[in-house]
Amino acid sequence: MSRFLLTLVILISFRGSYSAEGKGGMPQLNPESFSSQLFWLLIFFTFLFFIINSIFIPKIKKIRNRRDETIDKLLSESKSINQSMENIIQKINNEMSKEKENSNIQINKAINENKAILDKKISSLDVEYEKKREVVIKDLTISKTKIEKKIPEIVIALSDQIFEKILGEKSKSSLDDFEKFQKDPK
Amino acid sequence: MASPLSQFEIKTIVPIEVFGYDISFTNSSLAMLATVLLIILFLSIGLKNSSIIPSKSQTLVELSYEFIAGMIGDNIGKEGMKYLSFIFSLFMFILLGNLLGMLPYSFTWTSHIIVTFAISFFIFILVTFIAIFKHGLFKFLGFFAPSGVPKAMLILLVPIEVISYLSRPVSLSVRLFANMMAGHTLLKVIGGFVFVLGANSFIIGGALPVAFLIALTGLEIVIAFLQAYVFAILTCLYINDAIHLH
What are the structural domain ranges in chain A? Answer: 38-183
Q: Which of residues 36-95 of B touch A (CB under 8 A)?
A: 36, 39-40, 43-44, 47, 50-52, 54, 58, 61-62, 65, 84-86, 88-89, 92-93
**What average pLDDT does this structure show over B140-153?**
82
CA distance B89 to B81: 13
B176 with B227: CB under 8 angstroms?
Answer: yes
Instruction: Determine contact, residues B113/B182, Cβ cutoff 8 Å.
Output: no
**Which residues in chain A are closer than 8 Å to B32, comparing Cβ atoms?**
40-41, 44
State pLDDT tens for residues B192-223: 888 888 877 777 777 888 888 899 999 999 99
Work out the average pLDDT over B47-71: 89
Backbone angles phi, psi at B54, to 5 degrees: -75, 150
Considering A85-99, A151-165, B66-80, B157-171, the range whose residues carry the highest mean pLDDT is A85-99
Q: B17-18 and B21-22: which strand pairing?
A: antiparallel
Tell me if B176 sits within 8 A of B233, measured CB to CB: no
Distances (CA, A) of A89 to A78, A86, A94, A96, A111: 16, 5, 8, 10, 32
pLDDT at A3 over 80: no
How far apart, in whole angstroms, are the C-alpha atoms of residue B196 and residue A60? Answer: 51
Question: What is the average pLDDT across A28-52?
Answer: 90
Mean pLDDT computed over B39-67 = 89
pLDDT at B69: 93
pLDDT at A4: 56
Partners of A4 on chain B (C-beta within 8 Å) are 178, 182
pLDDT at position B10, please? 86
- Residue pair B244/B80 in contact (Cβ under 8 Å)? The answer is no
Q: What is the pLDDT of residue A30?
A: 80
| Res. A99: pLDDT tops 50 | yes
Estimate to the nearest angstrom the gap between the alpha carbon of A66 and the chain centroid: 45
Residue-wise pLDDT tens digits, A65-84: 999 999 999 999 999 999 99
pLDDT score for A16: 44
Instruction: Give dist(CA A150, CA A178) in Å, integer.
Output: 13
Q: Do B47 and A39 touch (CB under 8 A)?
A: no
Mean pLDDT of chain B: 89
Domain positions in chain B: 6-243
Lowest mean pLDDT segment, chosen from A23-27, A40-44, B24-28, B208-212: A23-27
pLDDT one-digit tens code per residue, B114-139: 999 999 999 999 999 999 999 888 88
Q: Hey, CA dihedral for A140, A141, A146, A149, is it positive or negative?
A: positive
CB contact under 8 A, B5 and A25: yes
The pLDDT of residue A52 is: 93
**Cβ A7–B8 below 8 Å, yes or no?**
no
User: In chain A, which residues have their Cβ closer than 8 Å to the Cβ of B22?
Assistant: 32-33, 35-36
Q: Which of B13, B52, B84 to mutate: most A Cβ within 10 Å?
A: B52
Return the bridge partners of B17, or none.
Answer: B22
Q: Give the lowest-confidence range in A12-16, A85-89, B52-56, B237-241.
A: A12-16
Residue with the larger pLDDT of the pair A133 and A160: A133
Closest-CA residue of B relative to A59 is B47
pLDDT at B114: 92
Q: How confident is the model at residue A19 (pLDDT cuts 50, 70, 90)?
A: very low
Chain A residues with CB under 8 Å of B88 CB are: 52, 57
Chain B residues with beta carbon closer than 8 angstroms to that of A42: 118
The per-residue pLDDT for A135 is 95
ipTM attached to this prediction: 0.91
Give the angle B32-B36-B38 at the CA atoms, nearest 5°.
110
Residue A121: which pLDDT band, with cuts at 50, 70 and 90? very high
Position B129 scores a pLDDT of: 93
Percent of chain B past pLDDT 70, that is, above it, reads 98
Residues in a beta bridge with B22: B17
Nearest by CB to B89, from A28, A29, A48: name it: A48
Q: Are B62 and B54 in contact (CB under 8 A)?
A: yes
User: In this complex, how many residue pairs, one in chain A and one in chain B, have their CB atoms less than 8 Å apart?
Assistant: 145
pLDDT in tens, B86-101: 999 999 999 999 999 9
Q: What would you report as the CA-atom Rg of chain B, rounded to the nearest whole angstrom? A: 22
pLDDT of residue A17: 45
Q: Between residues 32 and 71 of chain A, which touch chain B (CB distance below 8 Å)? A: 32-42, 44-45, 47-49, 51-53, 56-57, 59-60, 63-64, 66-67, 70
Average pLDDT over residues A85-111: 96
> B-chain residues within 8 Å CB-CB of A19?
none
Question: Distance between CA B230 and CA B238 in Å, rounded?
Answer: 12
d(CA A163, CA A167): 6
Name the closest residue on chain B to residue A56, using Cα atoms: B43
Q: Which residue in chain B has the smallest CA separation from A18?
A: B3
Closest residue in A to B86 (Cα) is A49
Is residue A21 scored above 60 in pLDDT? no
Count of CA atoms in the C-beta half-sphere (13 A) of B115: 32
- Work out the pLDDT band at A18, boundaries 50, 70, 90: very low
Q: Which residues does A16 contact at the CB level (< 8 Å), separation at least 6?
A: none
The mean per-residue pLDDT over the stretch A91-117 comes to: 96
The shortest CB-CB distance from B186 to any of A6, A25, A28 is to A6
Q: Is the pLDDT confidence value at A120 over 80?
A: yes
- Tell me the Ramachandran region of residue B3: left when phi exceeds 0, alpha when psi lies from -120 to 50, beta otherwise: beta
Whether residue B24 contacts residue B15, with contact meaning beta carbons closer than 8 Å, is answered with yes
Nearest to A3 among B9, B177, B182 (CB): B182
Q: Show the DSSP H helices in B102-206 as ranges.
A: 113-142, 151-200
The residue with greater pLDDT, B198 or A108, is A108
